[in-house]
A = this chain, B = another copy of it.
Amino acid sequence: MTMKIKRVAIVGGTHGNELTGVMLVKKFLHYTQLVKRQSFETFCLLANPRAIDQTRRYIDRDLNRCFDRHDLANPALTGYENILAKQLFACYGSGGSEPVDVIFDLHSTTANMGTTIIPISNSPANLQLAAYLSSLDPSIHIYLGLHSEQNSPMLRSMAPVGCTIEMGAISPGVVEANILQNAERLVLAALDYLDNLNQGVPMTIPTTVNLYWAIEAIDYPRNGQNELTAMIHPDRQSQDYQPISLKDPLFLDLQGRTICYQEEQTVFPVFINEAAYYEKGIAMVFTKQQTVATDYFS
């Protein structure tokens, strides 16, 4: 990363019911010394205030799908989150009044994904940051989603560098101390990394890193009324990042029949049984795993 980092945003409550991020950002707003660093300005943002007040994911539309650049430019989109996204982008986006160089967006999931880093893009700066953070804890995974490009509809796409930090498994509307502490350690380490980088003394990153690239999102089996006719198979529940091969169980239908994976390619499902993805038609996301030498990034 050659650019000088001037402003770093720590964002919670992009989804108002993901309390880990909300509570951690409130903590940082109260104990500001924790996130202060010498070489840049850190600021903390509770992104969706009305959704946070109501402990709901969103009011009108998922805020984390409102940052598509065409949507931001579309005056016909006037829902609460559409307006919010436009305001946030006008302020913090590239060309905004107070553009941010780095975003850490704190999320949580009902899927058993542990701590997952979702880089803003697969640029060298982003993958090096992710590689560093994952080196701090071997249980951390790095996931590159179906929207891993900068002009994505995600809030994080306002900045060129940073990541979503996804914490699970945890229910929406719940905060757990261990998960909050893990997220806090990770954010503070990320700030240290950026501060060192800014000052020309970059942290050591590992020589290789494992990436999970999204291939395909698959839905639950449904009937003509769009109702689920099958559930995640018990053998698949909570088995995020575990490989599946031909004929491994995926779903169990209401009559007790198993529905299996039918492809030859070994894949690694993630976001298995994420509550908020039922309405999006996603039961899990298949990824392929790739080990990459980190000097590839530079």
Which residues between 12 and 71 of chain A lie within 8 Å of chain B, taking CB atoms? 23, 26-27, 30-31, 55-56
Task: Assess whether A228 is interfacial by the CB under 8 Å rule.
Answer: yes
Partner of A110, one of B27, B174, B231, B234: B174
- Contact A172-B175, Cβ < 8 Å, known A30-B254, A278-B55: no
Residues of chain B within 8 A (CB-CB) of A278 are 55, 173-174
Residues of chain B within 8 A (CB-CB) of A194 are none
B172, A173: Cβ atoms closer than 8 Å: yes
Question: CB-CB contacts of A100-143 with B at 8 A, as 1s and 0s?
Answer: 00000000001000000000000000000000000000000000
Task: Assess whether A252 is interfacial by the CB under 8 Å rule.
Answer: yes
- Contact A231-B176, Cβ < 8 Å, known A27-B254, A171-B110, A171-B171: yes
**How many angstroms from the CA of A175 to the CA of B31 in the assembled complex?**
38
Residues of chain B within 8 A (CB-CB) of A147 are none
**How many angstroms from the CA of A180 to the CA of B230 in the assembled complex?**
11
B275, A234: Cβ atoms closer than 8 Å: no
Name the distance in Å between A142's Cβ and chain B's nearest Cβ. Answer: 24
Task: Assess whether A279 is interfacial by the CB under 8 Å rule.
Answer: yes
A180, B275: Cβ atoms closer than 8 Å: no
Task: Assess whether A288 is interfacial by the CB under 8 Å rule.
Answer: no
Task: Assess whether A201 is interfacial by the CB under 8 Å rule.
Answer: no
**How many angstroms from the CA of A10 to the CA of B33 in the assembled complex?**
55
Q: Size range of the interface on A?
A: 20 to 34
Name the distance in Å between A122's Cβ and chain B's nearest Cβ. Answer: 30
**How many angstroms from the CA of A237 to the CA of B27 in the assembled complex?**
20
Task: Assess whether A178 is interfacial by the CB under 8 Å rule.
Answer: yes
A-B contacts, 19 of them at CB < 8 A, read: A23-B254, A31-B254, A55-B278, A56-B56, A110-B173, A110-B174, A171-B171, A173-B276, A174-B278, A175-B228, A175-B231, A176-B232, A176-B237, A176-B273, A177-B232, A177-B233, A177-B234, A177-B237, A178-B237
**How many angstroms from the CA of A31 to the CA of B229 in the assembled complex?**
13
Partner of A173, one of B23, B232, B275: B275
Question: CB-CB contacts of A64-108 with B at 8 A, as 1s and 0s?
Answer: 000000000000000000000000000000000000000000000
Residues of chain B within 8 A (CB-CB) of A228 are 23, 175
- CB-CB nearest in chain B for A176: B237
Find the residue from A173, A228, A252 having the highest chain B CB count within 10 A. Answer: A173
Name the distance in Å between A220's Cβ and chain B's nearest Cβ. Answer: 9
- Contact A171-B237, Cβ < 8 Å, known A180-B231, A231-B176, A232-B176: no
Task: Assess whether A227 is interfacial by the CB under 8 Å rule.
Answer: yes
A177, B275: Cβ atoms closer than 8 Å: no
